[in-house]
Structure formats: structure tokens, C-alpha cells
Structure 1
Amino acid sequence: MSVRHPARTARFALGLALVAVPLVLALVGPLFAGEPGPRGASLTLGGEHRLGTDFVGRDVWQQVLHGGRPVVLTALAATALSYLVAVPVGLFGALTHHRWLEEALMRPLDVLLAVPSLLMILLAATVFSPGAVGLALLVALVNVPDAARLVRAAAAEVAARPAVEALRMQGESWWRMAVGYVGRSMVRTLAADAGTRLTGVLYLVATAAFLGVGVAPDAADWAVMVDRNRTGLFVQPWAVVVPALLIVGLTTGTNLLFDAALARGGGRAARPSRRTLPGPRDTGIRTGKEAHL
């Protein structure tokens, strides 16, 4: 019988609510934004615009509906790309028998870790002007070293188990060992890291857009809205507060959802099933009836 945990349920419900609002606005918001109307006076409240106008006189609500898709899609793409590179690199580093090959693979990543992520993005932006795709690639690149080291550390612990050596002795393929056994054993570790990493990627994408990297200065983007309208915060607060709250809600809700999911999975794992409980024969203890047999 499953045991309900009110705190865990409340955490999951809160996380789902915080994530649902910005995700819905980002994915379907542009479908309901409509055609842009005539621009009014900059940084005004009320009137025919429900949330007022932004720094160039555009409707803030329309900009909110249009501005979530670039941030959310870029962050999701960058997170997926970083794992797509980091997981094979980390698994190979943990499972290889050649020490020199592991060093040649992992030490350059340590050098990249010494450089701040935002600094690398800004340096790359001075060489070329990245669009949304370029920004996703840059953010993924700066996340690969840390993700690869985490994967390598988690995989090395699993790779030291006798089961992996037994698979080697049986002549199993590297793919079966790395993905079929080691990879499956570290799913919870990757899931725990994914929530935190997605949060960091969202903030990195938003900060890059805030600094004008990868987006136009007047683009419909939540981070750009915060940057360009911040000087008029006390005149027109909605142009800054609404997109900022959507970004914070998305990042906070993502972490709450991952925490609740991991806690629920851990609770299931902690409860042994009746099939796994040892019987008298398993423990070596015989009952009186068995002794006569």
C-alpha cells in the first residue's frame, strides 16, 4: 500500500503550477498574441493596453506572449545538447582501461572549467554574432565540461562493480556495458543533475540575452524585456516584473518537480517488495518441519 506524503504532493503541485504558466505562454502564446497594433507612448500604464507599453511603445502583454519561446526553446536545446556530448564522453572516460586516453579526454575539460561560462560566451560573441542557434550551441559547449565530469564520476563508481567485470569477461560489447548497465544505474544521478543544470542554463541564456548576445536589442524576449525596461521600473513595473517572474517561476518550478519526482522514486526504492524478502531457506535457517524432511 502506497503512503502519501502531503509535503511531497504539495511540492509537486507547486512546481507543476510554476512551470505550467511560463511553458504554456512560451509554447502557445504566439498563437494568441495577434497582430501588433500601433505603438503608443513608451513606458505607460493602463489605457487600451492591459499591461501598458514597453520602452518603445509596444504592448507589454503581446511582448510577453511572444517573448517566452526564444528563452525556453534555447535553454531546452542547450541542455539536451550538453548531455548528448557529455554522457558519451563521461562514460568513455570511466570505462576505458587506458589511463592516458582518459587523461587526454578529461584534462582539457578541466581547463575549460577554469574559465567562467559567461566570459566564454562573451568572448565568442566578439568573434561572431550568434543567433538563437549559435547561442544554444555556446551554452551547451560551456556546460559540457561540468556535465562530463559528473557523468564520469558517477559512472566510475558503477564501473568498479564486479558485474561490469563479469560483462567484460563474457565478451559483452561496450555499448551494452555503458548503456545497458552503467547508464541505467546512474539515471537518478542524471535526473538530479538535470533539474539543476536546466535552471543554470535558463539563467545563462537569460543573462546572455540580457547582455544582447544572440538576440536583437529590441527583440520580443523575456530577458531583453527585463534589460531594456529596467530604467523605467518605477514608471512601468509590469514590463520588468512580469517577464522576470516568469523566468523565476520556470526555474524554481523545474527544481521542485525534479525534487518531488526523485523523492517519490527514492521512496519506492526504499520499500522492499515481498518477493525480495528472504525466506527460511534463503537465510540458512530451517524450521522444525523442514529439519525432518
Structure 2
Amino acid sequence: MSTTSSPGVLRRAVTQKRLLYGGIITLVVVAFAVLGPLFAPHGQNEIVGAPFSKDFGVFGTDYLGQDVLSRLMYGGQLILLISVLGTLLGMVVGTLIGVVAAYAGGWWDEVIMRLNDVTLAFPQILLALVVLTSVNDPKWWMIVLLIGLSHAPRVARLARGVALGIVSRDFVIAAEALGERRSRVILAEVLPNMNAPLLAEAGLRLTYSIGLVAGLGFLGFASDPNAADWGQMINENRLAMASQPWSVLAPVLVIGLFTIGTNLMADGIAQFSAKGGD
């Protein structure tokens, strides 16, 4: 078995400054999105003043006269939920594909990875648009599924590369010699030794997910067109960028902060992984 303890690895990983600062930024944005509706001064669809007024509240009003701050506080829950679930789905499916390909080897590896390469040819945003435009009433779980399936091939390629360096190690060979089932070898011996690179990849995938979900909202494919949505807010108010910039800049800044936070976390984990956990 591996001599590296997963809890020990994680404890040492959080000493990385990039990981620490990124985690703090990410948690602040998540807390803002989750707790925001509880403290919002107005309802997400409540008309409180004249359209595009800069004199109301903190960020003024939007194109309908709704409070930008309130809509900002309401607009993050679903977009973050979809991003996290889509990332988790992509990581699980992609890791499973990559590890199975590396462990099976031979022509199984070739077949699986060549099929994986074909799916990599489809741009994520284009695939999502093709599917969503063919559905009359897109549901939030469809976006989760699309994000997960679009991430999976990229995760699979990384997982296979990492797993190839593990499946030939002595503790894996010893487990096989003891008659352990292949599924148990994968779960107990291979996957625990892939924590650091997979966590780094998860941070990057989460960054791409939030950008993809926000982009779909900007293009009019928000999971709930009647609810506040950061991506949709940018599209709704973009024509008044010169006269009331906060109606656009506020959601852009929140998305940007979340992206910075998750990227710092991914970089911190990658640096830790490159140092071998020392």
C-alpha cells in the first residue's frame, strides 16, 4: 500500500499560501451567494426606482428599476450549484474513464482514449448551445449534465496520465498478487494516490464551469429566466454600460473574484503536488 496518508497530504496542502488565499476568496463568494437572499434589502424582482438610476442603494438600479445589489445577492445560488454539480459529475466520470483505461492497458486503453479524443473535438459552449436550443424548456439538471459530460474527456486524459505512473508501482502489484479484485485495487490503491492532481484539476474545472454557466445565462439560457442570474444580469444591462456601469460590473466582479479564488486554489494544489507533498 501507499505510504502517503490522504489526511496528511491535505493538511500539508493547506499550508500553501495560494491555496489558503484562494480558499478564503472562494468561501467569501460562496457565502455571499448562499446567504445573500437572507440579507437582501429588496426582493429579486421588486421594482424600487427608475431604470438605470445610479442614486439608489449601493449599485443603483437595473433596466427595469430593480435593485442591482439585491439581484446580485439573489443571483448566485443556482449558478454556483449548477457549476459545482457539473464539476463533480465531470470529475467522477472523467476520473473513472481515465483510471480504467490506464489500469486495463492494451487495446482497451487505445479504444477508450481514441473515443475520448473524438469527444474533445467538440467545444464546450457549442455543445451546450446545440443541445439547449433544441429543447423548448431547458431545466437546470440539463445544464449540469452538459457541463459534466463536456468536462469528462479532459479530466479523463489527465487521470489516465496520472494513473499510468501509479498502476505499475509495487503496492499495486502487491495488491494484485494477493488476489484483490480490480475494483478494490482501483479504489483503495490507485485513486488515493491521485488526490493532489485531481484536486488541482477540479479547481480548474470549477473555474470553467462558472464561466460556462454565466456565459449561457448571458446568451439567454439561464436555468430560470424569471430569477436573478449573474450571467443574465450582464446581458440585461449591457446597453447601459456607459450610463449605469454597476449594473454590469457588479456581477462581472463577483464572477471574476470566484474565478480568481478557484484558480489560486488549483495553483496551490498543483505546486504542492509538484513538490511531492514535502
Unaligned runs of 5+ in 1: 1-6, 271-293
Range with bigger deviation, 240-249 or 171-180: 171-180
- Residue in 2 aligned with 1:169? 177
Amino acid at match of 2:169: R
1:1-293 → structure 2 map (5 Å cutoff): 9=17, 11-12=18-19, 14-33=21-40, 35-36=42-43, 37-47=46-56, 49-97=57-105, 99-128=106-135, 129-217=137-225, 219-261=227-269, 263=271, 269-270=277-278
CA–CA distance in structure 2, aligned partners of residues 89 and 180 of structure 1: 17
CA–CA distance in structure 1, aligned partners of residues 83 and 145 of structure 2: 10
CA–CA distance in structure 2, aligned partners of residues 181 and 59 of structure 1: 53
Amino acid at match of 1:117: Q
Amino acid at match of 1:108: L
Unaligned runs of 5+ in 2: 1-14
After TM superposition, give the deviation of residue 162 of structure 1 in Å.
3.6
Partners of 1:135 and 1:214 within 8 A in 2: no
Amino acid at match of 2:107: W
CA–CA distance in structure 2, aligned partners of residues 176 and 122 of structure 1: 39
Deviation per residue, 1:36-71 (Å, 9 max, x gap): 343432111113x33211112111111011001122
CA–CA distance in structure 1, aligned partners of residues 271 and 126 of structure 2: 36
Helix, strand or coil for the counterpart of 2:166? Answer: helix
Q: TM-score, normalised on structure 1?
A: 0.81
Deviation per residue, 1:12-55 (Å, 9 max, x gap): 554244323321111111112255343432111113x3321111
CA–CA distance in structure 1, aligned partners of residues 272 and 152 of structure 2: 29
CA–CA distance in structure 2, aligned partners of residues 170 and 8 of structure 1: 38
Partners of 2:197 and 2:273 within 8 A in 1: no
Q: TM-score, normalised on structure 2?
A: 0.85
Partners of 2:196 and 2:269 within 8 A in 1: no
CA–CA distance in structure 2, aligned partners of residues 119 and 267 of structure 1: 37
Deviation per residue, 1:107-160 (Å, 9 max, x gap): 222111011111100110122142222111111111111111111111112112
Aligned length: 261
Summarize the Cα distance change of 1:231–1:108 in structure 2 as closer, same or farther, 3 Å threshold. same
Amino acid at match of 1:18: I
Summarize the Cα distance change of 1:258–1:145 in structure 2 as closer, same or farther, 3 Å threshold. closer
Give the fraction of aligned pairs with identical amino acids, expressed as a percent. Answer: 34
Range with bigger deviation, 119-128 or 129-138: 129-138
Q: What RMSD in Å do the two structures reach over aligned CA positions?
A: 2.3
Helix, strand or coil for the counterpart of 1:158? Answer: coil
CA–CA distance in structure 2, aligned partners of residues 225 and 44 of structure 1: 15
Partners of 1:135 and 1:213 within 8 A in 2: no
